[in-house]
Amino acid sequence: MDLQDASHNDPFTAVVVLSGGLDSTTLLAHYSALRFKLVAVTVDYGQRHSKEIDSARTVARHYGTEHHVLEVAGFGTLLSGVALTDAEVTVPDGHFAEKAMRATVVPNRNAVLANLATSVAVSRRADLVALGMHAGDHFVYPDCRPVFLDALRQLVAVANEGFTTPRIEAPFMTWSKADIARHGVGLGAPLELSWSCYKGGSIHCGTCGTCYERREAFREADLLDPTEYVDSVTRFTAP
């Protein structure tokens, strides 16, 4: 299907940024439950944990939704010093709020992903672009804050003036990770198919920041965690 066909009109379509993680899997389930037609967009930006792309494909197939993987892998090769794209940098273990987790910040990532999805949505004349970010990540990720979302909405309006402009929604912005896990389970989302680990092994390591956050989310929500971890025992104290 030609994404550049501006005559195509999908007013009740949600273009969902689907990384393949817990948050975006719940996001896809959220808009599926709202009866939107779904277009899932996954971005290959050269991330070392590319297994999340495979998870995104599997989750999209689960919902029978249209799915596109956008290849911009060269972007990641330029980001030296970033643990998620630079093989020379070790992915840190520990609590997500620790300063060491700054090594996992991909500069401007959410802006890049959101703007790619927005281009698809404008071309489709889709109703909205859905993002799975939440403010619980604000300790290390500046593009997971409400102020970023406000600025993004203004940018989209200005950059696409004169065209049908999609709403930019991030329904989990003020939620905790436990809230998202609880919502996903309530919606019957296939969270067991999602992938969080930044180390990209065959199973979740359980100790990198995002694995530990995932473990804590299920524990705090008092839910059975369907995830297999190398280490599901080690506990980290919040700084």
- 139 belongs to a structural domain: yes
User: Which range (5-19, 47-61, 142-156, 205-219) has the least confidence?
Assistant: 5-19
Q: Is residue 206 part of a domain?
A: no
User: What are the tokens at 55?
Assistant: 């998870």
pLDDT of residue 138: 67
Which residue range(s) make up the domain with 112? 13-87+105-190
pLDDT(1) > 60: no
pLDDT at 148: 95
Q: Report the pLDDT value the prediction gives residue 11, as an integer from 0 to 100.
A: 65
- Residue from 5, 15, 12, 236 nearest 132 by CA: 15
Q: Decide: pTM greater than 0.85.
A: yes
d(CA 174, CA 194): 21
Residue 129 contacts residue 117 (beta carbons within 8 Å): yes
Is residue 58 in a domain?
A: yes
**Is the residue at 174 inside a domain?**
yes
Structural domain includes residue 150? yes
pLDDT at 2: 37
Confidence (pLDDT) at 48 = 87
Query: Which pLDDT score is estimated for 4?
Result: 40
- Would the pLDDT of 5 be above 50? no
Q: What percent of the chain has pLDDT over 90?
A: 84
How many domains does the structure of the chain reveal? 1
Kindly state whether residue 7 falls inside one of the protein's structural domains.
no
Residue 89, pLDDT score = 94
pLDDT tens for residues 144-169?
A: 999 999 999 999 999 999 999 999 99
Bigger pLDDT: 88 vs 3:
88
Write the DSSP string, 133-144: --GGGTTT-GGG
CATH number of 132's domain:
3.40.50.620
* Residue 85 vs residues 39, 178, 183, 195, 198: alpha-carbon distances, Å: 26, 27, 30, 17, 10
pLDDT digits (tens, 9 = 90+) for 81-122: 999 999 999 999 999 888 888 999 999 999 999 999 999 999
Does residue 184 belong to any structural domain of this protein? Answer: yes
| Residue 136 binned pLDDT confidence (cut-offs 50, 70, 90) | confident
Quick check: is 178 in a domain?
Answer: yes
DSSP per-residue codes, the chain = --TT-TT---TTEEEEE--SSHHHHHHHHHHHHTT-EEEEEEEE---S-THHHHHHHHHHHHHT-EEEEEE-THHHHT-TT-TTT-TTSPPPBS-TTSGGGGGG--TTHHHHHHHHHHHHHHHHT-SEEE----GGGTTT-GGGSHHHHHHHHHHHHHHTTTS---EEE-TTTT--HHHHHHHHHHHT--GGG----SS--SSB-S-BHHHHHHHHHHHHTT------BS-SS------
> Is residue 236 pLDDT above 80, yes or no?
yes
